[in-house]
Amino acid sequence: MSKLFIFIGRSGCGKGTQAELLKKVLVEREPDKPVLHIETGKLLRDFAAKPGYANDLVRQAMAVGQRLPDFLAVGIWMRALIENFTGKENLIFDGSPRSLLEAQAIDTVCRFFPELTATVIYLNLSPESARRRLAARGRGDDATEAIEKRLRWFDEEVMPAVEHFRASSLYQFLDIDGEPAPEVIHQAIVSQLSF
């Protein structure tokens, strides 16, 4: 049986960090079972770095912090899943879904693959803490205006996906306090998971 773990939360909540920490736990518990880690943001950045018409448009949109259309995100992670998932791996989604439509696409994945159990890990971080963390890390896409845009986008676009997952019987839903230190958050996640 394969397990799917979906990390979702505001920018700055530590999705990537927690995904990596969980990946280590999964490998320790089942050393013979690989982990397929699908990072939508990385896949989109890799796509934007290649030549091509759609690639150019993605690169231009990303340069100005524009939200990419759902079909691109779904297409990019769906392709990675289809090409790499053999049914023998555990899965980690980091950076998807970014909208209700994407969440509904993940529903179809859960229904299609037999014996796939899915857990949503919502890292619940306040906008104030997200703002502070994003400003502190000082990445190029973390200017004040860009941060505010991403926080608004989360409330408008991503929260409906969170609520969809919370209400769905397809998923174990973990509402994890995203405020403490990464190690504390990790322990909270592991203690609530059904392995």
Amino acid 141: pLDDT = 60
What φ, ψ does residue 194 adopt, rounded to 5°?
-100, 100
Examine the pLDDT at 18 and tell me if it is beyond 80: yes
Cα–Cα distance between 44 and 73 in angstroms, integer? Answer: 7
Confidence class of residue 142 from pLDDT cuts 50, 70 and 90? Answer: low
Tens of pLDDT, residues 58-86: 999 998 888 899 999 999 999 999 999 99
Q: Domain spanning 2-40+88-192: which CATH class is it, in words?
A: alpha beta
For the beta carbon of residue 167, count every other beta carbon within 10 angstroms.
Answer: 9
Q: Where are the alpha helices (DSSP H) in the chain?
A: 15-29, 40-48, 53-63, 70-84, 100-112, 127-137, 144-153, 159-167, 182-192
> The pTM is what?
0.93
Tens of pLDDT, residues 35-54: 999 999 999 999 999 999 99
Examine the pLDDT at 176 and tell me if it is beyond 80: yes
Cis bond before residue 97 (omega within 30° of 0): yes
Domain map (residue ranges) of the chain: 2-40+88-192
Rg (CA), the chain: 16
Cα–Cα distance between 146 and 132 in angstroms, integer? Answer: 13
Confidence class of residue 144 from pLDDT cuts 50, 70 and 90? Answer: confident
Among the ranges given (104-118, 132-146, 158-172), the one the predictor scored with the smallest mean pLDDT: 132-146
Amino acid 160: pLDDT = 97
Please state the rounded mean pLDDT for residues 1-20: 96
